[in-house]
Chain A
Amino acid sequence: MTEDVFKALADPTRRRILDELVERDGQTLFEICARLITNHGLGLSRQAISQHLAVLEAADLVHSRREGRYKFHDLNTEPLECIVTRWLRPDARESNP
């Protein structure tokens, strides 16, 4: 799981997606695409952004939520706390590779 978080954060587009979700939680794929292009000039295909979201979801950094016929994406910062306590509070260290 920790490995997935580092991998997810290693990509600048995925970091931008997280930036935009900090700005506002609960976005549709349409809104995420629009924000990436207008705020960051990132004109990626919808499929490419879907794939980035899948990587973020696998790392548990993004939760997708279905509400009726809609699908929204929320930020989950919990995995971030797990990776920084390793250096900030070494006493709390569990088993970090």
Chain B
Amino acid sequence: MRINLTSVFVDDQEVAKRFYTEVLGFLLKHDIPMGEDRWLTVVSPERPDGTELVLEPSGHPAVQPYKTALVQDGIPATAFAVDDVQAEYERLRGLGVRFTQEPADMGPVTVAVFDDTCGNLIQIMQGDMA
């Protein structure tokens, strides 16, 4: 058994596609029409054959209350590993990305949290556990 997919619920798949590729720098892997929505996945350019992130539509009525409650308390939907949190923070800030948590040392890791403009907070982390 392998973990080959993970997902985040995005408010708008088109906005998500642009943010996750143009701003975060991931590569588009699949964009397949599926009725009203799409099977939309991206991968890291560092691991193009690695785990795919599914940008999942938020249409189910349970999704919005779940996302709203997490965002209000500052809880990230998922986390990505980076080599240098501070450098990535500055790069993303330069592109207009909103951070709810600036880089902070949390024991074995350095972390920061930003808004993906699709209704989620995302944590970036650097260190032993990332």
Instruction: Please state if B75 and A30 are interface contacts (CB–CB under 8 Å).
Output: yes
Interface: B33 (CB within 8 A): no
The minimal Cβ–Cβ distance linking B60 to chain A, given in whole angstroms, is 19
Instruction: Please state if B68 and A30 are interface contacts (CB–CB under 8 Å).
Output: no
Interface: B106 (CB within 8 A): yes
Instruction: Please state if A69 and B73 are interface contacts (CB–CB under 8 Å).
Output: no
Instruction: Please state if B102 and A24 are interface contacts (CB–CB under 8 Å).
Output: yes
Q: Which residues from B are CB-within-8-Å of A9?
A: none
Count residues of chain B with CB under 8 A from any CB of chain A. 15
The minimal Cβ–Cβ distance linking A45 to chain B, given in whole angstroms, is 12
The minimal Cβ–Cβ distance linking A90 to chain B, given in whole angstroms, is 41
Instruction: Please state if A69 and B111 are interface contacts (CB–CB under 8 Å).
Output: no
Interface: A70 (CB within 8 A): yes
Instruction: Please state if B71 and A69 are interface contacts (CB–CB under 8 Å).
Output: yes
Known contacts A24-B102, A27-B101, A30-B101; A38/B73 CB under 8 A: no
Instruction: Please state if B73 and A46 are interface contacts (CB–CB under 8 Å).
Output: yes
The minimal Cβ–Cβ distance linking B22 to chain A, given in whole angstroms, is 22
Instruction: Please state if B104 and A24 are interface contacts (CB–CB under 8 Å).
Output: yes
Q: Which residues from A are CB-within-8-Å of B100?
A: 28, 70, 72
Assign chain A's interface to a size class.
Answer: 10 to 19
Interface residues of A in 34-72 (CB under 8 A from B): 34-35, 38-39, 46, 69-72
The minimal Cβ–Cβ distance linking A22 to chain B, given in whole angstroms, is 14
Instruction: Please state if B68 and A69 are interface contacts (CB–CB under 8 Å).
Output: yes
Q: Which residues from B are CB-within-8-Å of A19?
A: none
Known contacts A24-B102, A70-B100; A31/B74 CB under 8 A: yes
Instruction: Please state if B104 and A30 are interface contacts (CB–CB under 8 Å).
Output: no
- How distant is the Cα of A71 from the Cα of B102 in the complex, in angstroms? 15
Residues on B facing A (Cβ under 8 Å): 68, 71-76, 100-102, 104, 106-107, 111, 113
Residues on A facing B (Cβ under 8 Å): 24, 27-31, 34-35, 38-39, 46, 69-72
